[in-house]
């Protein structure tokens, strides 16, 4: 009896094209039956299953090998051998590979407002147009003037002028001042103080005498007194007390500072003037951050902003909320009040001057033009000043500053449809390299049509690198790239590490900063040196804790260490300690960091968070044995086959970043087999092998480039053309991996006119 087969015609066609009823299903069909439930029909992800798109950097062979071993996650035996190869081939060509993603949909420039850091840097430079720009900051200390006091508020005899590297008075310091009256004298320190990071700073004077701090005193109207940040002028007994204040400062800038001290008719005299920078500890302000040179006051709004969007791994100004808009308005009110209260100082005039109105109007136009990053046409100037009230210019200026700082033309520097002329190029360069607005040379280059060629744009970018604001921008990238946190994340068990305290943590932070300066700014700026350098900058406290040869002096000394134990920034004790637990090392934290930040490979989120509980393991096990046991399930090993060998290669470093040869009484085993993106297995025998692999990996240097681009420009590099990363990487390689030159090329690339418009 004949058998009738009923089949959907479209399915029948697929079967016939595949070679008949007995033919093996193709990769697309296998993906839909085996993978789509978690990854989506086109690898877009499924909420609650796998949220991230199915994209990566493995080669076709590497992807097939991975699927063969680990996918589907719960039943890897269902897709192996030829099936794994067919699925991998289809995935790779459909949406997984970079080429497939580029063909599917090229990223577009996104409409973006100023980030929090960009806002603060921009308003500081806007008002700096009128308060003045600082000269080159050279540390070393403040100018000090010592006087004998005749009366409490009077200075009688000028004794000495000198540079004091720190603000401290003790018997040894006072013995060096001739003819000083021990109980009745005064000292004034003046100059500038450099804030390395944006955030809250603590300042305090410890003294039994009188002390005042004037920091960042803004211009004031005639007859108005300058208000000290710390006012402890009247002493209260002979016991030292603490006079303290906190101040929010925008990083990467010098601030005018003056400290005054008075001892009058007292038995003793002493002073320690200290600060606590963001994430730091109380300490004498280092001479590196003090200068005798003058610096103008900086406009610093105290309004707090909600965090920027960081969902793509870098801060972007794409999130708009009521909280953000309220912060914009409050900050504009703050700055408008400052402008109106200090109008004559900012406009360079005085009450009653015959040209006062003209100068104030000129000041208003200049402020708006620089805020909008292009000249105003005559109709725009007239509209800006149409409500100017010569009888009450303070109110006019207050309202005008608020309008300008709340305008989309200020908040959205490069909107879609904006002219792609020299002023747009200048605005892009300033945002990329300084998080700010163009300076006078850049503005004049745009005005004179000298930003039209790649050579002209590149010349300006290289000039701008010499400005401290570019260093601040690049230092911010390294804090992001190295996932650096504050001192609270570095805390260690005091019983296990009794000398690992907040002061050692502060030394480690300074040491890491000195290392980055040495490589990036003082040396060849070679990316490879970041990972291969064998030196550290060591303080006496660090030398004692880490068992290094003693170093002379109180500062930091550059020392070379055994090459086998050093892999540049990867093995810096600050990083090793931050990527560790309270009592023990953490191969998982270290492996995840290296996988994502250094090698540029993707990791999917774990199906469930598993807390590492050290007390649940046999205490005789090494950390390597514990992690191996914890991650042995196939569902874990789909990611931990990458994470574990990378983390194990750094197991010679304990929780505080000290080198060790034994763990739990057993020899440390730093070896492992790392699966490359090409499907090969690479043997790792310790930190040096790890660094060498990163240096040899084009994916690692490309990842560094992409992360630097994203941090600098706040956009995806592919939005500037499908070949952008390839071209930048080729020049990076040819240029001996020069980091500063790469930064200039990135800024110049983003500043060139783009055919791909931004998308709202």
Cis peptide bond N-terminal to 72, omega within 30: yes
Residue 271 gets the label, from left (phi > 0), alpha (psi -120 to 50) or beta, of beta
User: Is residue 119 predicted with pLDDT exceeding 50?
Assistant: yes
Residues 583, 501 share a domain: yes
Most confident option among 14-28, 183-197, 218-232: 183-197
In the DSSP assignment, the letter for residue 519 is I
| Confidence band of 40 (pLDDT split at 50, 70, 90) | confident
In the DSSP assignment, the letter for residue 446 is H
| Confidence band of 106 (pLDDT split at 50, 70, 90) | low
Average pLDDT over residues 500-519: 93
Answer whether residue 704 is part of any domain: no
Residues 525, 407 share a domain: no
Q: Please give the pLDDT value at position 5.
A: 38
| Confidence band of 705 (pLDDT split at 50, 70, 90) | very high
Residues 162, 77 share a domain: no
Residues 455, 562 share a domain: no
d(CA 675, CA 696): 14
In the DSSP assignment, the letter for residue 518 is I
Query: Which residue matches tokens 């009230």?
Result: 389
Q: Please give the pLDDT value at position 609.
A: 59
Q: Please give the pLDDT value at position 105.
A: 62
Choice among 196-205, 570-579, 748-757 with the minimum mean pLDDT: 748-757
Answer whether residue 429 is part of any domain: yes
Helix ranges (H only) for 435-501 are: 440-447, 454-465, 468-481
Choice among 94-108, 424-438, 456-470 with the minimum mean pLDDT: 94-108
Choice among 18-27, 72-81, 454-463 with the minimum mean pLDDT: 18-27
Tokens of residue 243, six digits = 């006079």
Residues 579, 664 share a domain: yes
Average pLDDT over residues 227-244: 90
User: Is residue 494 predicted with pLDDT exceeding 60?
Assistant: yes
Residues 489, 388 share a domain: no
Q: Please give the pLDDT value at position 487.
A: 56
Q: What is the mean pLDDT of the chain?
A: 88
Q: Would you call 667 helix, strand, or coil by DSSP?
A: strand
Answer whether residue 281 is part of any domain: yes
User: Is residue 733 predicted with pLDDT exceeding 90?
Assistant: yes
Most confident option among 170-184, 447-461, 633-647: 447-461
Residues 646, 512 share a domain: yes
Residues 579, 461 share a domain: no
User: Is residue 759 predicted with pLDDT exceeding 50?
Assistant: no
Residues 656, 588 share a domain: yes
Question: What is the DSSP pairing of strand 168-169 with strand 184-195?
Answer: unpaired
d(CA 752, CA 107): 17
Q: Please give the pLDDT value at position 19.
A: 38
CATH number at residue 274: 2.60.120.1560
Q: Please give the pLDDT value at position 496.
A: 94
Answer whether residue 233 is part of any domain: yes
d(CA 750, CA 461): 11
Average pLDDT over residues 167-193: 91
Higher pLDDT, 23 or 118: 118
C-alpha distances (whole Å) from 648 to each of 584, 669, 703 are 13, 7, 22
Average pLDDT over residues 68-87: 81
Count the domains in the chain: 4
Answer whether residue 706 is part of any domain: no
Answer whether residue 236 is part of any domain: yes
| Confidence band of 194 (pLDDT split at 50, 70, 90) | very high
Residues 442, 514 share a domain: no
In the DSSP assignment, the letter for residue 54 is S
Answer whether residue 305 is part of any domain: no
Q: Please give the pLDDT value at position 50.
A: 75
Residues 152, 122 share a domain: no
Residues 405, 286 share a domain: no
Residue 471 gets the label, from left (phi > 0), alpha (psi -120 to 50) or beta, of alpha
The distance in angstroms from the start CA to the end CA of the chain is 66
Answer whether residue 344 is part of any domain: yes
The whole domain housing 28 covers 9-104
Percent of the chain with pLDDT over 90: 63
Tokens of residue 33, six digits = 């039956």
d(CA 556, CA 540): 8
């Amino acid at each position: 009896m004949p058998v009738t087969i009923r089949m959907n015609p479209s399915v029948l066609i697929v079967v016939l094209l595949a070679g008949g009823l007995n033919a093996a299903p193709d990769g697309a069909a296998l993906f839909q039956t085996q993978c789509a439930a978690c990854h989506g029909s086109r690898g877009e992800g499924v909420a609650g299953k796998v949220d991230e798109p199915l994209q990566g950097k493995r080669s076709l062979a590497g992807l097939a090998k991975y699927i063969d071993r680990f996918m589907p996650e719960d039943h890897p035996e269902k897709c192996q051998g030829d099936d794994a190869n067919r699925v991998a081939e289809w995935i790779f060509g459909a949406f997984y590979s970079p080429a497939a993603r580029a063909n599917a949909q090229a990223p577009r420039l996104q409409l973006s407002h100023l980030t929090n850091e960009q806002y603060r840097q921009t308003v500081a430079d806007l008002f700096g147009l009128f308060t003045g720009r600082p000269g080159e900051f050279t540390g070393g200390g403040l100018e000090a003037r010592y006087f004998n006091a005749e009366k409490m508020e009077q200075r009688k005899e000028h004794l000495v002028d000198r540079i004091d590297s720190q603000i401290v008075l003790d018997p040894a310091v006072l013995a060096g001042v001739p003819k000083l009256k021990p109980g009745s004298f005064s000292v004034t320190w003046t100059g500038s103080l450099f804030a390395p990071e944006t955030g809250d700073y603590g300042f305090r004077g410890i003294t039994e005498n009188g002390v005042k701090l004037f920091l960042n005193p803004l211009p004031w109207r005639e007859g108005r007194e300058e208000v000290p940040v710390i006012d402890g002028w009247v002493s209260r007994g002979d016991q030292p007390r603490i006079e303290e204040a906190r101040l929010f400062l925008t990083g990467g800038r010098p601030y005018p500072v003056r400290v005054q001290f008075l001892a009058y008719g007292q038995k003793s005299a002493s002073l320690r003037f200290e600060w606590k920078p963001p994430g730091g500890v109380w300490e004498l302000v280092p001479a590196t951050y003090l200068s005798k040179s003058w610096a103008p006051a900086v406009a610093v709004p105290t309004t707090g902003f909600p965090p920027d969007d960081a969902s793509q791994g870098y801060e972007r100004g794409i999130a708009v909320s009521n909280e953000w808009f309220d912060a914009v308005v409050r900050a504009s009110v703050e700055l408008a009040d400052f402008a109106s209260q200090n109008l004559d100082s900012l406009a360079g005039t005085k009450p009653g001057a015959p040209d006062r109105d003209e100068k104030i109007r000129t000041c208003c136009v200049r402020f708006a033009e620089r805020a909008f990053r292009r000249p105003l046409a005559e109709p725009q100037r007239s509209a800006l000043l149409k409500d100017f009230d010569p009888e009450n210019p303070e109110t006019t200026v207050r309202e005008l500053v608020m309008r300008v700082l709340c305008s989309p033309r200020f908040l959205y520097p490069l909107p879609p449809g904006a002219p792609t002329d020299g002023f747009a190029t200048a605005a892009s360069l300033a945002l990329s390299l300084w998080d700010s607005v163009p300076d006078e040379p850049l503005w004049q280059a745009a005005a004179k049509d000298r930003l039209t060629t790649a050579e002209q744009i590149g010349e300006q970018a290289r000039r701008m690198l010499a400005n401290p604001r570019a260093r601040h921008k690049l230092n911010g990238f390294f804090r992001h790239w190295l996932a650096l946190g504050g001192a609270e994340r570095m805390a260690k068990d005091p019983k296990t590490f009794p000398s690992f305290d907040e002061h050692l943590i502060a030394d480690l932070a300074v040491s890491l900063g000195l290392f980055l300066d040495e490589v990036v700014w003082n040396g060849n700026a070679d990316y490879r040196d970041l990972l291969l350098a064998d030196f550290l900058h060591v303080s006496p406290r660090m030398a004692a804790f880490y068992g290094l040869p003693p170093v002379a002096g109180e500062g930091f000394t550059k020392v070379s260490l055994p090459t086998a134990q050093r892999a540049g920034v990867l093995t810096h004790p600050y990083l090793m300690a931050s990527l560790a637990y309270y009592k023990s090392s953490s191969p998982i934290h270290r492996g995840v960091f290296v996988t994502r930040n250094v090698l540029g490979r993707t990791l999917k989120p774990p199906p469930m968070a598993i807390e590492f509980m050290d007390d649940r393991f046999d205490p005789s096990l090494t950390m390597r044995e514990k992690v191996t046991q914890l991650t042995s399930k196939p569902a874990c090993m789909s990611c931990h086959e990458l994470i574990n060998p990378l983390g194990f290669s750094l197991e010679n470093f304990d929780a505080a970043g000290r080198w060790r040869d034994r763990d739990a009484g057993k020899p440390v085993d730093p070896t492992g087999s790392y699966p490359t993106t090409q499907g090969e297995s690479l043997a790792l025998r310790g930190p040096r092998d790890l660094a060498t692999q990163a240096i040899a990996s084009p994916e690692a240097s490309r990842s560094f480039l992409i992360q630097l681009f994203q941090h600098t420009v706040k956009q995806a590099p592919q939005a500037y053309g499908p070949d952008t990363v390839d071209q930048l990487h080729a020049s990076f390689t040819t240029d001996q991996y020069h980091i500063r030159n790469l930064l200039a090329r990135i800024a110049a690339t983003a500043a060139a006119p783009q055919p791909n418009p931004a998308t709202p």
